[in-house]
């Protein structure tokens, strides 16, 4: 049961990260083609920006390190 919750949380995080990549790509068309480390850094900065995300989404992503974000983005 605990493993299912963890898997669900990871899937939600991946979905939300993909949405953030799409959102940030609208502002910067070349964003998608940047190295994953730079994308992860930009997403992490966006997460920490006040008012950028709902409280629920922020809580879901706030504990992720830049490396965690890189890993989740690479797991399609």
Instruction: Render pLDDT for 17-28 as a digit per residue (tens, 0 to 9).
Output: 999 999 999 989
Please state the domain count of the chain: 1
Q: Locate 37 and state its tokens.
A: 């480390």
**Structural domain harbouring 6:** 2-74
DSSP per-residue codes, the chain: -HHHHHHHHHHHHHHHHHHHHHHHHHH-TTGGGS-HHHHHHHHHHHHHSTTSS-HHHHHHHTT--HHHHHHHHH--
Look at residues 18, 45, 52 and name the one whose alpha carbon lies nearest to residue 66.
Answer: 45
Instruction: Render pLDDT for 34-74 as a digit per residue (tens, 0 to 9).
Output: 999 999 999 999 999 888 899 999 999 999 999 999 999 98
Instruction: Say what the pLDDT of residue 55 is.
Output: 92
pTM value? 0.85
């Amino acid at each position: 049961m605990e493993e299912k919750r963890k898997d669900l949380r990871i899937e939600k995080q991946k979905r939300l990260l993909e949405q953030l990549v799409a959102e940030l790509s609208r502002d910067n068309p070349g964003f998608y083609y940047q190295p994953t480390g730079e994308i992860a850094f930009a997403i992490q900065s966006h997460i920490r920006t006040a008012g950028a995300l709902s409280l629920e989404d922020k809580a879901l992503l706030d504990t992720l390190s830049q490396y965690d974000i890189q890993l989740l983005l690479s797991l399609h």
